[in-house]
Chain A
Amino acid sequence: MYTMIQAGSMGVPFTSTLGYAGTDILERRPDDFKIIENPFDSQERTVVAKAMNPDVAIFHGLKGDRLGNVLVQKHGEELLLAQASRRVIVTVEEIVNSVDFEDSDGWFIPSIHVSAVVHASLGAHPTGVPGLYDADEDRINEYVKASGTDESFDKYLNRYVFEVGSHQQYLELVGLRPELEAVAR
Chain B
Amino acid sequence: MTTGFDLTIEEQLAILMSREVNDWETSACGALSFIPATAMLLGREMRAPNAEIIILGSRDYSPFVTGKDFHFHAQRGQLDLFFISAIEIDQHGNFNLHVIGDRDEPDVLMPGQYGTGMLYYAVPRIVMFRTEHTRRSFVDQVNYVSGAGTSPNGVSRRTREVKVITPMAKLNFNQESRIMELGSVHEGFSVDQVVENTGFNLGIRGEIDKTPQITEEEVHTLRTVVKSHMIDSETYPNEAANLIREP
Show the binding face of A for B, using Cβ within 8 Å.
2, 6, 17-25, 27, 35, 37, 43-47, 74-77, 80
Which residue of A has the minimal Cβ distance to B118? A19
Contact of B145 among A18, A24, A37 (CB under 8 A): A24
Q: Which of A17, A19, A35 has the most CB of B within 10 A?
A: A19
- Beta-carbon contact of B147 and A23 below 8 Å: yes
Task: Please choose the segment from B41-49, B148-156, B163-171 that sits at the chain A interface, where 4 or more of its residues have CB less than 8 A away.
Answer: B148-156
CA A77 to CA B72, docked complex, whole Å: 14
Contact residues in A for B152 (Cβ distance below 8 Å): 21-22, 35, 45
Contact residues in B for A23 (Cβ distance below 8 Å): 113, 117, 145-148
Q: How far is the CB of B63 from chain A (nearest CB, A)?
A: 12
- Beta-carbon contact of B75 and A24 below 8 Å: no
CA A27 to CA B103, docked complex, whole Å: 13
Q: How far is the CB of A139 from chain B (nearest CB, A)?
A: 18
- Beta-carbon contact of A75 and B154 below 8 Å: no
Does B144 interact with chain A (Cβ within 8 Å)? Answer: yes
Secondary structure of the A side of the interface?
Answer: mixed
CA A163 to CA B15, docked complex, whole Å: 53
Q: How far is the CB of A153 from chain B (nearest CB, A)?
A: 13
Contact residues in B for A27 (Cβ distance below 8 Å): 145
Contact of A77 among B66, B117, B119 (CB under 8 A): B66
Q: Which of B65, B113, B118, B146 has the most CB of A within 10 A?
A: B118
Contact residues in A for B222 (Cβ distance below 8 Å): none
CA A43 to CA B120, docked complex, whole Å: 21
Which residue of A has the minimal Cβ distance to B64? A75
CA A27 to CA B74, docked complex, whole Å: 24
A44-B154, A45-B155 known; A21+B66 contact, CB < 8 A: no
Which residue of A has the minimal Cβ distance to B75? A18
- Beta-carbon contact of B103 and A18 below 8 Å: no
